[in-house]
Structure 1
């Protein structure tokens, strides 16, 4: 593949294996794979979308609407808002299949960057007014939303936010900077976690809906991540006034609200990593079969065979851990350590698979624009995103040692 080629999405390679989920999930995956292949890939080709170039907002809106019309966009919402009611296990299998298609638009099929997954857990806290102004427009693919917690001095320590929200009559006035916020360049609104404490020594965080078109709300974008993507940006709040009715839930409960589903959400990043790792393995197998050296395919050499064998084995192990943790959550288990183990192991394993994929591809693997080169950079990011590997190890250790650390 040359540097300007966007590869066509591939169908799942696990169709012959026993399917671990429900029949409803199996049918859903077949429909969503067909949707990506038949509807989204032509858009990708027509508009020259690549993994790194991304898509403009009008095209994203079209993708969101098409996905909504097919019944895909809102599956993560509560059932009373049109959600599908899938188990965590089914959700993992669905998301893995979507990312394994290789579509540059994979993250937008379920609205992960800016859609229903961002607001589903907030629905139970939302007032009727907030449902009408914020939750339902996102659920209907009419508006895009982002979640703004991270700041220059608050990342892993999310409770250390310095953005301030000061109550003035029937309004709050927000000042501060949110950094590296996914989906912010094309958001219509943000969920902002801000400090409402009047004592610098006391942590008190509160969540707010903040519309982008309010004076004092500015998005700084244009920088790119390691993977070359520009879907993140900074949100600058300068004397941004919002009505008190935009406060979500109780004052002082913002961080608890934001992290309320962190255990499940941590696991649900794993299928994206493993779907991408599967692509790297598939591409490597195809290359080892096609590429010839010394009169035979390079797949005939034991060194290449062993790399492929290790890639497949580690992918199977990571996938088994992910599905095992999903079953624990579906059975009602808390699984704090287990989800951190899954995120840690899946992110580290997926990157090792991408690293070997580059090695198998040789010179082709280090050319910018080749898919394995991009996957190498993207999967490296997952070891940092949504909680670094070190944070996951901290969580696992705390759960193992319990009161001994207190």
Structure 2
């Protein structure tokens, strides 16, 4: 994929994070530039084509060795103890690097961020078998909630876990599970109710090598990526010792940090949107028509001005919500506002980037064309824009609509 080197940088306010976060970002950017970019180039890896498991393991372990991989874990497991604001700034910088390995530097797709919140619920046995191997970059994990009939309505699960002595037998299909093609085990949220009309969900660790566990991969998202797949469970028997936390608390456990997690999807979108803006600035200077750079034309200038303005507005909202959460505020509506506004804004920026690039912007292989497709997905991923609006409205109206 062609990735032009921006000649100009998108405007950013003074850095608002801690000195530790500033140093962390500097070290990550050096890692990307000196190690990950050559690794991607040497293996022909792009954001769209993806990387084989063997290469990803190199990234995970090298990131672990440099102190990046487990940064989001609780401090007792080696985490850095960064504030939510710092975390947002770090993640934004990682995605703004344009590296195809961006989702793997902190292990977001299959690593420590997937298990950090589970550490409080895990038994000592589960810590040894599941949590610590992921924290050490030895194993990969995925989180499986979504099903054919359970997407936005996450509680409508059809995957069932039926107790049989000291085991549970799992049957069902999980769909669109990120990281499943290269997972070693999964957190599976199942219905454990005897009555289909009663919603009782329970979480289990399930190893991929258990009989009856199958990953169906091979399909691509609209952004061309292949790190998503289905998990099919057919009479898959797991020991009761694999149950996570209390029975009936599966969704509560999975969604326990939903407000923070929802906010922390925003820096990825805005980092990618910044790439689209910077590529557009570079193109406006480089591309000449009628004897002059297209950046001298007011129509192009207005597109760029709107892109930069909306990017800073979205970023300000994201950081404001991060500060509220760091100070102990609930911010449920505000996190949904941030996810809604950042995803919609990032896509508008990508759309304008295609317009600025003209014919180059609609050719596959152009980075802005890829960003257009990827950022379109974020309006659906991790809670659609419509679901965010529902959440915001419920919080505004309060008990009147409950």
The answer to whether TM tops 0.5 is yes
Unpaired segments ≥5 residues, structure 1? none
Cα deviation 1:13-33 (Å, max 9, x = unaligned): 479741100000000000000
Q: Contact between 2:10 and 2:308, CA under 8 Å: does it hold in 1?
A: no
Q: How does 1:217-366 map onto structure 2 within 5 Å? A: 217-366=213-362
Paired residue secondary structure (1:158) = coil
Q: 1:5 is matched with which residue: 2, 20, 27?
A: 2
CA distance in structure 1 between the partners assigned to 2:196 and 2:25 by the alignment: 50
Q: 1:114 is matched with which residue: 101, 110, 120?
A: 110
CA distance in structure 2 between the partners assigned to 1:6 and 1:53 by the alignment: 14
Q: Which runs of 4+ in 1 moved over 6 A?
A: none
CA distance in structure 1 between the partners assigned to 2:68 and 2:85 by the alignment: 17
Q: Contact between 1:6 and 1:50, CA under 8 Å: does it hold in 2?
A: no
How far off its partner does 1:403 sit? 1.0
CA distance in structure 2 between the partners assigned to 1:231 and 1:364 by the alignment: 27
Q: 1:136 is matched with which residue: 132, 135, 138?
A: 132
CA distance in structure 2 between the partners assigned to 1:14 and 1:69 by the alignment: 32
CA distance in structure 1 between the partners assigned to 2:35 and 2:9 by the alignment: 20
Paired residue secondary structure (1:160) = coil
Q: 1:6 to 1:281 in 2, by over 3 A?
A: closer
* TM-score normalised per structure 1: 0.97
CA distance in structure 2 between the partners assigned to 1:342 and 1:404 by the alignment: 24
CA distance in structure 2 between the partners assigned to 1:391 and 1:35 by the alignment: 37
How far off its partner does 1:5 sit? 3.3
Q: 1:74 to 1:252 in 2, by over 3 A?
A: same
CA distance in structure 2 between the partners assigned to 1:263 and 1:211 by the alignment: 28
Q: 2:82 is matched with which residue: 81, 86, 91?
A: 86
CA distance in structure 2 between the partners assigned to 1:196 and 1:16 by the alignment: 49
CA distance in structure 2 between the partners assigned to 1:326 and 1:377 by the alignment: 27
Match in the other structure for 1:76: 72
Match in the other structure for 2:168: 172
How far off its partner does 1:52 sit? 1.0
Q: 1:16 to 1:155 in 2, by over 3 A?
A: closer
Paired residue secondary structure (2:100) = coil
Cα deviation 1:50-102 (Å, max 9, x = unaligned): 11110000000000000000000000000000000000000000000000000
Match in the other structure for 1:367: 363
* TM-score normalised per structure 2: 0.98
Cα deviation 1:225-268 (Å, max 9, x = unaligned): 01000000000000000000000000000000000000000000
Residues paired across the two proteins, number: 402
CA distance in structure 2 between the partners assigned to 1:267 and 1:126 by the alignment: 25
Q: Contact between 1:12 and 1:100, CA under 8 Å: does it hold in 2?
A: no
CA distance in structure 2 between the partners assigned to 1:227 and 1:28 by the alignment: 29
Match in the other structure for 1:65: 61
Q: Contact between 1:291 and 1:298, CA under 8 Å: does it hold in 2?
A: yes
